[in-house]
Structure 1
Amino acid sequence: MKLDKFDREILRVLQQDATVSMADLSQRVGLSHTPCWRRVKRMEADGIIIGKVTLLNSKKLNLGVSVFIYVTLKNHDGDSLTDFENAVQGIDEIVECHTTSGEKDYLLKVIVESIEEYEYLLKNKLTHLPLVDHLSSTFALKQVKNTTELPIKRQ
């Protein structure tokens, strides 16, 4: 789907505040209410807008430890990859899972309350994921940038 300048501006505004009213959104992007509403509905139907969320402050929820884990699997056949990917879905502390190129197969992002909680998770869940050969953990010391906004270019 080709996006014009109005579509891109709608997406920029919604990324910053998904609770914005349609009246405010249409005013901010320079469209009347109905055409703006139609564009939003079209982008939802086309799968460009896939949901609206509430962002939480992890530190205020006592979830201040972020760990990045490189995973290497023993096997790389389709069933092995599928089994691993299905298994990570059931671990709430894993908030992101990416397949990667190069020597490592996956990159996980885990968020927990403490290093002790991560150690428990590592020993009791992560090392028991299907076909795991090697895990390499790196703890984030400080978050320098955090954005959920995609870099939508202006035309």
Structure 2
Amino acid sequence: MKLDKFDREILRVLQQDATVSMAELSQKVGLSHTPCWRRVKRMEADGIIVGKVTLLNSKKLNLGVSVFIFVTLKNHDGDSLTDFEQAVQSIDEVVECHTTSGEKDYLLKVVVESIEEYENLLKNKLTHLPLVDHLSSTFALKQVKNTTQLPIKSQ
């Protein structure tokens, strides 16, 4: 789907504040209410807008430890990959899972309260994921940038 300047501006505004009213949104992007609403609905129907969420402050929720884990599997056939990917879905502390190129198969991002909690997660869940050969953990010391906004270009 081709996006014009109004579509892109709608996306930029909604990424900054998904709770903005349609009246405010239409004013900010320079469209009247109905055409703006139609564009939003079209982008939702086309799967460009996939949902609206509330972002939480992990530190205020005592979830200040972020761990990045490289995972190498023993096998790389389709069933092995599918089994691993399905199993990782059930671990709430895993907030992201990416397949990767190169020597490692996956990159996980885990968010927990403490190093002790991570150690428990590692021993009781992560090492028991299907076909895991090797896990390599790296602890984030400080978050320098955190954005959920995609870089929407003007055109």
Q: CA shift at 1:119, angstroms? A: 0.1
Q: Percent identity?
A: 93
* Partner SS for 2:143: coil
Q: TM-score, normalised by structure 1?
A: 1.00
Q: TM-score, normalised by structure 2?
A: 1.00
Q: CA shift at 1:138, angstroms? A: 0.0
Q: CA shift at 1:92, angstroms? A: 0.0
Corresponding position: 1:50 with 2:45: no
Q: CA shift at 1:83, angstroms? A: 0.1
Corresponding position: 1:127 with 2:136: no
Quote the Cα distance in structure 2 between the aligned partners of 1:87 and 1:137.
Answer: 19
Quote the Cα distance in structure 1 between the aligned partners of 2:87 and 2:34.
Answer: 44
Q: CA shift at 1:47, angstroms? A: 0.1
Quote the Cα distance in structure 2 between the aligned partners of 1:76 and 1:94.
Answer: 21
Residues 42-66 of structure 1, C-alpha deviations (whole Å, 9 max, x = no match): 0000000000000000000000000
Residues 78-124 of structure 1, C-alpha deviations (whole Å, 9 max, x = no match): 00000000000000000000000000000000000000000000000
Q: CA shift at 1:131, angstroms? A: 0.0
Quote the Cα distance in structure 2 between the aligned partners of 1:107 and 1:89.
Answer: 14
Quote the Cα distance in structure 2 between the aligned partners of 1:136 and 1:55.
Answer: 28
Large movers: runs of 4+ above 6 Å: none
Q: CA shift at 1:74, angstroms? A: 0.0
Equivalenced residue count is: 155
Q: CA shift at 1:133, angstroms? A: 0.0
Quote the Cα distance in structure 2 between the aligned partners of 1:131 and 1:39.
Answer: 45
* Partner SS for 1:79: helix
Aligned to 1:88: 88
Q: Specify every segment of 5 or more residues in structure 1 that has no aligned partner in the other structure, as ranges.
A: none
Q: CA shift at 1:11, angstroms? A: 0.1
Q: Specify every segment of 5 or more residues in structure 2 that has no aligned partner in the other structure, as ranges.
A: none
Q: CA shift at 1:39, angstroms? A: 0.1
Q: CA shift at 1:22, angstroms? A: 0.1
Q: CA shift at 1:14, angstroms? A: 0.1
RMSD of aligned Cα (Å)? 0.2
Q: CA shift at 1:128, angstroms? A: 0.0
Quote the Cα distance in structure 2 between the aligned partners of 1:33 and 1:27.
Answer: 8
